[in-house]
């Protein structure tokens, strides 16, 4: 149960904050660069899979190792690195293959993903610590 509640805390944090970002930045940051490449509405199946899987990655690569060490700083920095590497993979691949993808968009999105993952992992760690480790 602790595993599920920790996962849920990461997922809810990640999704909620990312939705605020996407709502406020889609027209300002993404649409001017990508134009017609952006769908009018997102593919909900693909988005749902991303929002189920990404928090699992944060849990496995950032929160659980930090919980074992008892270190909020480890959760935050591991989350930030996970976010940096995963968002960099996406953004740099797009910049390498898509005509309109810009360096500004790459840098902004990598910074965003790093911060979002760090905050989500940090909160997940705090939830895991609050519940203890008796049923991990």
Predicted pLDDT at 135: 52
Smallest CA-to-CA distance from 69 within 130, 125, 15 is with 125
pLDDT at 132: 80
Would you state the pLDDT for residue 119? 98
The pLDDT value given to residue 133: 61
Q: What is the pTM of this model?
A: 0.94
Q: What is the mean pLDDT for each group of 10 consecutive residues in the chain (136 residues)? A: 93 98 95 92 96 98 97 98 98 96 97 98 97 65
């Amino acid at each position: 149960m602790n595993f599920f509640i920790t996962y849920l805390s990461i997922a809810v944090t990640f999704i909620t904050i990312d939705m605020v970002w996407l709502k406020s930045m889609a027209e300002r940051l993404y649409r001017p660069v990508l134009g017609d490449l952006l769908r009018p509405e997102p593919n909900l199946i693909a988005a749902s899979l991303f929002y189920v899987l990404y928090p699992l990655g944060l849990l496995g690569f950032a929160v659980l190792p930090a919980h074992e060490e008892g270190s909020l700083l480890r959760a935050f920095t591991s989350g930030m690195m996970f976010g940096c590497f995963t968002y960099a993979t996406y953004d740099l691949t797009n910049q390498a293959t898509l005509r309109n993808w810009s360096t500004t968009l790459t840098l902004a999105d990598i910074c965003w993903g790093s911060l979002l993952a760090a905050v989500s992992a940090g909160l997940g760690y705090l939830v895991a610590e609050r519940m203890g480790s008796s049923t991990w």
